[in-house]
Amino acid sequence: MMRSIFRYGWMAVLTLFTITATAWANVVMPEGVLEDRELEMRDRYEQALQRNPFQEQAFERVYKTYLEVDGIDAWVSKLETGIATSETQIADRILLARILDRRFEPESAIEQLEKAEELGEDRPEFKLFLGELCYSTGRDDRAIELLDDSLETLTDSEKRAQVCRMLGSLFLRQGEKDQAIEVWKRVTEQNPTDIFSQLELADIYEENRMWEEAIGTYEEIIRLSENDPYRRCRAMRSIAKCLIDQERYQEAIAKYEEALELVAPGNWLFEDIKGKLVTVYQDLGDLNGLVSYLKAKLELSPNDLEFKDLLAETYTRMGQFEEAEKKYLAILERKPRDAGSYEKLIALYERMEQPEKVVGSFEKLIELYPSDTDYTRRLGEFHLRQGKPELAKETWASILTTDSSANRQAELAGWLEEYSFPEEAIAAYEKALEKEPNKEWSFRMGALKFDAGDEEGALKAWLGTLNEETSHAADFAEVASLLATRNLIEHAEPLYRKAAEKDPNNLEHQLALAKNLTRQERFEQALPLYEQLASASEEQEYFRDQGERGMLDMYSELGTLEEKQKEWEETIEANPDKPDLLMKLARLYERAGNREKALPLYERCVELAPDEPDYRRTLAGAYRAAKHSTQAIDIFKSLIETDKNRARAYHRELLDIYLEGDMKEEAIQSA
């Protein structure tokens, strides 16, 4: 798949990378160095690869450790050294070719393999690999030669099937259909009675729209599966599909009907074939023919409920609703607790516009399954659609007849809320809360009261979930956030303060309080909170960044930004070698829109603390924002080598820069 993507250009690769970005979450992050035992294990795998460079497990393990720790370039350099010494040249060239193939460099990979071939390499796996690359790059004649040679000596059935597929496709691409078929037949060469080999061959024929050959192969599978009705049934289903693709519908119908004889009703395969059979009849406009077939089946097996159900469904499709109703009722006589048949009757009665029968069917389901309250909800919803809201509410309230517990009251409240009866929902929530306190119910009731204009009642409901002594900081923060989203910022403030008081080490509560005060335009009170956040440790980078931004915003709002700038400039004149002060002033310059003055300060921070990744990361971001792409690229590349725990993020930054600069090869490599 990946090789075929290469043929469609670099943007296809980047599109794939973007689509699968979430898969990065599963990548193990670099640890920085290998432990002695891990290094020993990698050395052993590398030695195994020198003996056989096509060992998949060994290659994957070595590739993974280099990718996560040293970088693939380190392995490439090691292999190139091996090639230069000539001692392990063949294995090293093959391994290098495998890496180049993963980097979407097939031409370079072919070059390495051809040199290995000149040195005498001729293993079937080698010919398969080189043949695949030639196939993907359009070198058909060379690919045919290599794949044909490998097929003579390969013993692995999966690899043989892979070669047969490619080789046959090459012949077909050159217009040699007969040769393609002969090659494909070799899939079953090792074991002609193996069902899975036959299925592989049939799949190849179908893939290439060779329906007769596919049918012949499925018939062979049927012959080989004399004692396996399930396998024969699936083969018949596949034959029917091939017949439909040839528009031989009557033959397909006969084959589906034959297949149904082999599988028990209720089995998923029975349902699948049944659906396909109905579809063919309907596409032909011959549902009467299906009715005749089903009636004949029922004459032989009058108690077969599956065929009765199919006949009822067919009558429904034909618009013969009364006949369909009779069949469903006949099924219920035999299976009086069959919920599925009642569901089909409900759908049928709705189409027949017979609401009383819909109600009767729901009531029967409620009687049969009293613990499943969803039937009651749906019956009420039906009354509502019929324009009978009072009857709907009465129906829903009936669930309290046998169980008036708090949970059941809350369930009723939820239905009333869902169907837009807020007053009744509030009353039901209040009754539930009288029986049992519940935070979620209180939140829902408060929201309903707030939406109804009862702000005081809403606040009472929300604040009532809190206890000064027993509630945790997170509880206060949760209610505060709920109030803030409804613009009740003054009421939210004391709750944010309480959260910060109960959990002073949680900077999230402090930041929320600072933002709340900012929304109230109480900038002087918010400022010290932001200043405290700005002094957070390096491990709390997000809060430190939020604190610095908020602090500068507060200075701006209070009209003291220029004053602070002068103050910090004077401080730096006296202390020119303090990176934290330089960084603070640089960010102030950026906040004021003076990026060119900020850059030298960021650069000075890196000079003073070259091993501090935060400073280099900030400088790289500033370079990128200033369109100094070359400098940004250099820093991100160095960070990948020295700050391996963040390597994934740096690669993403590089990818964005490369895309912005239309640097195609670099973008592919970074992806």
Say yes or no to pLDDT of 220 above 80.
Answer: yes
Q: Sign of the C-alpha dihedral, residues 85, 91, 97, 101?
A: negative
Domain residue spans of the chain: 466-559
Per-residue pLDDT, 30? 42
567-625: per-residue pLDDT in tens?
888 888 888 888 888 888 888 788 777 788 888 888 888 888 888 888 888 888 888 88
Say yes or no to pLDDT of 10 above 70.
Answer: no
| b/e code 627-663 from CB counts within 10 Å (16+ = b) | eeeebbbebbeebbeebbebbeebbbbbbebbbeeeb
User: Of 13-17, 240-244, 269-273, 440-444, which range is least confident?
Assistant: 13-17
Question: Is 531 exposed, middle or buried (CB count within 10 Å of its CB: 0-12, 13-18, 19+)?
Answer: middle
Say yes or no to pLDDT of 641 above 90.
Answer: no
CA angle 282, 283, 285 (to 5 degrees): 60
Per-residue pLDDT, 5? 36
Say yes or no to pLDDT of 142 above 80.
Answer: yes
If one looks up domain 466-559 in CATH, what number appears?
A: 1.25.40.10
Per-residue pLDDT, 14? 45
Q: What is the mean pLDDT of residues 520-544?
A: 90
CB 464 within 8 A of CB 442: yes
In which band, very low, low, confident or very high, does the pLDDT at 29 lie, cut at 50, 70 and 90?
very low
596 vs 344, higher pLDDT: 344
Residues listed for the chain: 671
Residue 617's alpha-carbon distances to 319, 533, 542, 654, 655, in angstroms, are 70, 20, 14, 12, 16
52-99: per-residue pLDDT in tens?
999 999 999 999 988 888 888 889 988 988 888 776 689 999 999 999
In which band, very low, low, confident or very high, does the pLDDT at 562 lie, cut at 50, 70 and 90?
confident
Per-residue pLDDT, 591? 75
Phi, psi values for residue 194, rounded to 5°: -75, 120
Say yes or no to pLDDT of 18 above 50.
Answer: no
Say yes or no to pLDDT of 342 above 60.
Answer: yes
The encoded tokens of residue 594 equal 């003076």
Q: What is the mean pLDDT of residues 469-480?
A: 96
Which is nearest to 420 in space by CA: 389, 387, 395? 389
Say yes or no to pLDDT of 24 above 50.
Answer: no
CB 601 within 8 A of CB 582: yes
In which band, very low, low, confident or very high, does the pLDDT at 668 lie, cut at 50, 70 and 90?
confident
* Mean of all residue pLDDT scores within the chain: 88
259-301: per-residue pLDDT in tens?
998 988 778 999 899 999 999 999 999 999 999 999 998 998 8
User: Of 179-183, 618-622, 662-666, which range is least confident?
Assistant: 662-666
Distance CA 160, CA 184 (A): 10
DSSP conformation letters of 206-272? HHTT-HHHHHHHHHHHHHHTTT-HHHHHHHHHHHHHHHHHTT-HHHHHHHHHHHHTTS-TTSHHHHH
Say yes or no to pLDDT of 23 above 50.
Answer: no
| b/e code 447-475 from CB counts within 10 Å (16+ = b) | bbbbeeeeeebbbebbeebbeeeebebeb
Per-residue pLDDT, 16? 42
Say yes or no to pLDDT of 397 above 50.
Answer: yes
In which band, very low, low, confident or very high, does the pLDDT at 33 lie, cut at 50, 70 and 90?
low
CA end-to-end distance (rounded Å), the chain: 16
Most confident of 299-313, 431-445, 657-671: 431-445
CB 282 within 8 A of CB 291: no
484-512: per-residue pLDDT in tens?
999 999 999 999 999 999 999 999 999 99
Distance CA 310, CA 544 (A): 67
Distance CA 344, CA 314 (A): 12
Q: What is the mean pLDDT of residues 25-36?
A: 48
Contacts of range 219-222, beta carbons closer than 8 Å, 24 or more positions apart: 221/195
Which is nearest to 598 in space by CA: 660, 552, 662? 552
